[in-house]
Amino acid sequence: MPHPPPAPRAPPEVAETVLGAVGGGSYDAEARLLVWRAPERTDFTVTVVAAGTSDRPVAAEAYAVARAVGLNATAIHDVGVAGLDRILQVRKELEAADAVIVVAGMEGALASVVGGLVRGPVVAVPTSTGYGASLEGVTALLAMHASCAAGVTVVNIDSGFGAAMAVHRIAQARIAQGRRDLP
């Protein structure tokens, strides 16, 4: 029987039940992700960047899904625009990645900042975290869609899974074309 695809958003009790019924899998509690396979790693790199600690669960989901589908993933946390020097300190790591997933709530400004710093694709994930007028992620969603950095792709609120799968499709297209040098 073939193993199922990665299953996101699985609560611990569901994961325990499913793993008991379908052996050979693993569960990432932070990402709430069930995985049954360890695919061969590609040399395509994605960096998952989280603005603040409240964005970490969504970033963990994006990171875990990216790894589950074979991407070479790294994660950088707590580099939101409230302390712009923090994102500038990791600029070289961002520029070295083939793609960047940006996870941010509040006003979602980190996606525009990263989009202005890197050449490669940027996939933005608005999160439902924040206070004030964050409107459960709608503020970040709209800000990311209106990014002044051209070409930033935006997925749905809290969709780390969707972001990782978007990058996976980009990676597969480049690999199929035999090119990693495409912007």
Q: Which two tokens stand for residue 94?
A: 């961002």
Greatest extent of the chain over all pairs of C-alpha atoms, in Å: 50
Q: Do 77 and 20 belong to one domain?
A: no
Q: Does residue 31 sit in the same domain as residue 62?
A: no
- 9 plus 89 within the same structural domain: no
Q: Are residues 4 and 45 in the same domain?
A: no
Provide mean pLDDT across the span 152-166. 96
pTM for this structure? 0.85
| The total number of structural domains that make up the chain | 2
Round to whole Å and give the CA distance between 46 and 133: 31
Residue 95 lies in a domain: yes
- Same domain, yes or no: 93 and 59: yes
Range of the domain at 22: 1-37
Residue 115 falls inside a structural domain: yes
Q: Any idea what the CATH number is for the domain that residue 164 is in?
A: 3.40.50.1970
Could you report the per-residue pLDDT of 116-146, keeping only the tens digit for each?
Answer: 999 999 999 999 987 777 888 999 999 999 9
Q: Same domain for 83 and 105? A: yes
Query: Same structural domain for residues 1 and 56?
Result: no
Residues 81 and 156 in one domain: yes
Average pLDDT, the chain: 87
Give the tens place of pLDDT for each residue, 29-49: 777 776 777 667 778 999 999
Q: Are residues 80 and 165 in the same domain?
A: yes
Query: Is residue 3's pLDDT more than 80?
Result: no
CA distance 82 to 118: 19
